[in-house]
Amino acid sequence: MDRREDFNRLMADCRKGRIDRVLVKSMSRFSRNTKDCLAALRELTRLGVTVQFEKENIDTGTLTTELMVSVSGSLAQQESISISQNSHQSYRRRMERGEFITTKAPYGYRLVNRRDLEIVPEEAEIIRWVFDAYLGGKSAKDIANELIRRGIRDRKGNVHWTTREIYYWLSNEKYVGDTLCQKTYKTGFPFVQKINQGEVDQFYVEGTHPAIVSREVFDKAQALRAMKKKKIYGPDGVYPLSRKMCCGICGFTLYRHVTRKGSATWSCGRHQRKASNCATGPIPEEAIYAAFLRMYNKLRLHEGVILRPALSQMDSLETALQRGNPAMLEVNQAIAQATERGYKISKLRANGLLDADACAAQMAVNNAQLTQLRAKRRRLLKNDDIGEAAEALRQTADTIRQGPERLEKFDEALFAELVEQIVASPTALRFRLYGGIEVTEQIGEDER
């Protein structure tokens, strides 16, 4: 404020009683700082001077004490937007110069000097194996299951992998040594991060860091993914909703049909034969996808209200059933010890107290032991439906927690990970998720 001579002159005139009302174009012109602005407004209020902000349509002369809170909020919002815009401009200039790389290292790398990517040998071997396995004919689901079977841990120390993560690795240009800047962007206030689908410019920078896989292998993986994405239309075609849709009225399977205009719908097989057989008629495919988006976003936003209580109840039931099983307790203790041992080995390697070869050897022995222990636990749980349901529910919860904060577009891999079945009726879709949770979404009249 000290350098704003005209503003200080205005305040001095107000203190002398020469001014009783101040007209301002916008809050940002009155002050750039929330703290100083509120201090000035409080002083002017004590002096009996009112201030009107034209742009925000706020008049301090008509504000109650409670409404002053909205002024504070508006000021804080304006300041937050200004800071965000300045940061974004800085990032954009660095992207254009090819300097901006990343603020978070993907699996296979570690971040050094707060901006450079350095290969983590143990994790890089996993990435190379994933590419080789995919090109060798394994599906993303098979690869994820194999990583779980081998006891490979993620950055959080969990042995949990999904097809979504495998697909992300296979399409991540960082593994070939390049960087695509601005894959996501933030909307205006309130800030929401979204996947960039052409709304803002992207910058592709080659050779920004060491590569884990060769460009030839990476390009082959992209070509194979593109080929697998192509759908074969007709009675033998396989779609994301295939074998997932069931009629809630008669229990018959729902089948896909493409209209003459090219739009896809799903309807009960009995209804397709004769409309009077069943009331579950054609449901637009886009309406089903939209219902999945609503369902996912609700679960992601209210995870603590919906998923956590269900997980807590399932864990309590599983613990009660296993409490009297000494063999299960012994296996669980051994798994906990092996998991802790693996964490300590990783920590020694990260602190430079263990070389790469020794770390790889010890981790291999420990992972082999974990694999045997988990296999033993699976045998003990083979006939335990509660144990299987609890594990499925935990995987569903982890998938939602690790998924995008808000889903704007249908994600086939995420759908396959979460949804076991969809029970359809003429007005609603009931999504049955792995682990037993069911969520119902209405089909809007505008979507029918």
pLDDT reported for residue 445: 45
> 89 is written with which tokens?
């401009």
- Rounded Cα distance between 88 and 90, Å, is 5
Write the pLDDT tens digit of every residue in 302-340: 877 777 777 776 666 566 555 556 777 777 778 878 888
> What does residue 308 show for φ and ψ, rounded to 5 degrees?
-60, -45
User: CATH homologous superfamily of domain 5-92?
Assistant: Resolvase, N-terminal catalytic domain (3.40.50.1390)
Q: Write out the DSSP string of 225-240.
A: HHHHH----STT---T
Chain centre distance of CA 188: 19
Where are the chain's structural domains? 5-92, 98-229, 234-448
- Work out the average pLDDT over 228-250: 71
| Res. 236 pLDDT band, cuts 50 70 90 | very low
What's the pTM value of the predicted model, to 2 decimals?
0.46
DSSP E strands, 225-336? 245-247, 254-258, 264-268, 283-284
- 296 or 159, higher pLDDT: 296
Using alpha carbons, list the distances in angstroms from residue 332 to 323, 328, 339, 376, 435: 11, 6, 10, 10, 21
- Work out the average pLDDT over 8-35: 83
pLDDT reported for residue 444: 65
DSSP E strands, 313-378? none
End-to-end C-alpha distance for the chain, whole angstroms: 60
Mean pLDDT of the chain: 79
What order do you get walking across the sheet with 283-284 strand by strand? Answer: 254-258, 264-268, 283-284
| Res. 291 pLDDT band, cuts 50 70 90 | very high
Write the pLDDT tens digit of every residue in 339-351: 888 777 877 777 6
- Work out the average pLDDT over 440-446: 74
User: CATH homologous superfamily of domain 98-229?
Assistant: Putative Large Serine Recombinase; Chain B, Domain 2 (3.90.1750.20)
Residue 135: pLDDT above 80? yes
Write the pLDDT tens digit of every residue in 49-74: 888 888 777 787 776 544 554 555 55
Q: What is residue 280's DSSP assignment? A: -
Winning range, highest mean pLDDT, from 99-108, 131-140, 151-160, 321-330: 131-140
Closest CA to 272 of 280, 263, 262, 260: 280
pLDDT reported for residue 233: 40
Strands 21-24 and 50-53: parallel
Yes or no: say if 44 and 21 are a contact pair by the CB < 8 Å rule. no
pLDDT reported for residue 90: 61
- 347 or 301, higher pLDDT: 301
Residue 1: pLDDT above 80? no
Write the pLDDT tens digit of every residue in 175-220: 998 888 777 666 655 556 667 666 677 777 788 889 999 999 999 9
